[in-house]
Every structure is written in C-alpha cells, then in structure tokens.
Chain A
Amino acid sequence: MIELIYAGVFYILLSIVLIYRVAKGPNVVDRAVASDSIDIMTSVALILFSLYSGRGIYLDIALIIALLGFIGTVLISRYLEGRL
C-alpha cells in the first residue's frame, strides 16, 4: 500500500506551504490558526506512516501531537481574551 505514503507526503507538503502563512500572517490569530492546522496535518501524516510501516508507536505520537495542538490553541485564545 504505497498510497498511504503518497497521501502522507502530500499532507506534509501542504503543511510546508502553510508555514508561509505562519511567517507572514498580519496578526497573531492567523499565526495561531495556521499552526493549529499544521499540528493536525502532521498528526494525520503520522497516522498514515504508522499504518504503512506497521508500528504502533507512531499512533501514540500522533495522539499526543493532536492533544498538544488543541491545548495550545485554547491557551493562546484564553491569553488573547485576557482571562488567563
């Protein structure tokens, strides 16, 4: 199943394209949203690579990356709102 690797590389290329928005974004919200999307796409690419290589450890890493991305986004939004 080489298509899993193709899809994972496509997701990683899309997240490399999103670094442009992180670097250029006019304000902080654009950067936070783009980095949250990069987190999620990295997690999906890790899932696909884990299914290709047959090792279960990458699934745990993908779960941790998704969880930390969610916590980071909520934390940044609380800080911007002024309630942290």
Chain B
Amino acid sequence: MRIIVDIFLIFGCFFAFAGTVGIIRMPDSFCRMQSSTNIATLGTLGAVLGGAVYSFWSGNIGTGVKVLVIGMFIVLTNPIAGHAICKAAYKYGIRPDKKFVCDDYGRDIADGK
C-alpha cells in the first residue's frame, strides 16, 4: 500500500516541479499559461489520488470521498479559468512572440469588428 501511495505522490510532485520550471523559464505569457495548467491537472491528480488511496486503505471512507471531490473540483474548474484568462490576455493586448506561426483568434476578432 505504501509503495502505491508513494508512486502517486512522486508522480504528482514530478509534474508540479515540471510546471514550476515551465512557469519560471518559459519565454512567453501564453507558454507560461500552458505550464500552469500542467500543475493544476496532473500535479493535483497525482497527490489527490495518492491521498485517496491512503485514506480508503486506512478505513476513512468519508475523508477519501471528500479528497476525491476536491480533486475533481480542481480538475474540472481549471480549464474554465485557463480559457477565460487566455481570452482576457488576448483582448488586453498581450501578443505572443515573433516566431508565432498562425493567429486564428486575431483574425476572428478583426473580422468581427
């Protein structure tokens, strides 16, 4: 049991570390946004699943269900926040780097006006 929980925790810690390095090191606002979603989905999911397995195994069913509900809430609401803040960033005037290949959303906004 301990080995399973440890594997889940190490999984979550690795993805949280990768997301943090991405937020610190990425060159662009939109790239940093993409790294932050890495923290909120996989980094959370690893720790939450590990905690739920530990709690179910030690007999606390209510605690495990509550942990799973918190994890499901975070995983479901993070894409909404990501989309909202990405759209807000584009409308606020932040543009990606010069090496950007295609800009469909800017074309849509220009057509709409």
Contact = CB atoms under 8 A, between A and B. Distances in A.
B92 A36 contact: no
Contacts, number: 141
B74 interface: yes
A66 to B, nearest CB: 5
B13 A11 contact: yes
Residue from B17, B48, B80, B88 with most neighbouring chain A CB atoms (10 Å):
B88
Interface in B22-44: 23-24, 29, 32-33, 36, 39-40, 43-44
A41 B41 CA distance: 11
Q: Which size bracket describes the interface of B in this complex?
A: 35 or more
B23 A37 contact: yes
Contact of B13 (A7, A27, A32): A7
Interface string B84-104: 110111011010000000000
A80 B44 contact: no
Interface in B44-63: 44, 47-48, 50-51, 54-55, 62-63
Interface of B: 2, 5-6, 9, 12-13, 16-17, 19-20, 23-24, 29, 32-33, 36, 39-40, 43-44, 47-48, 50-51, 54-55, 62-63, 66-67, 69-70, 73-74, 77-78, 80-81, 84-85, 87-89, 91-92, 94
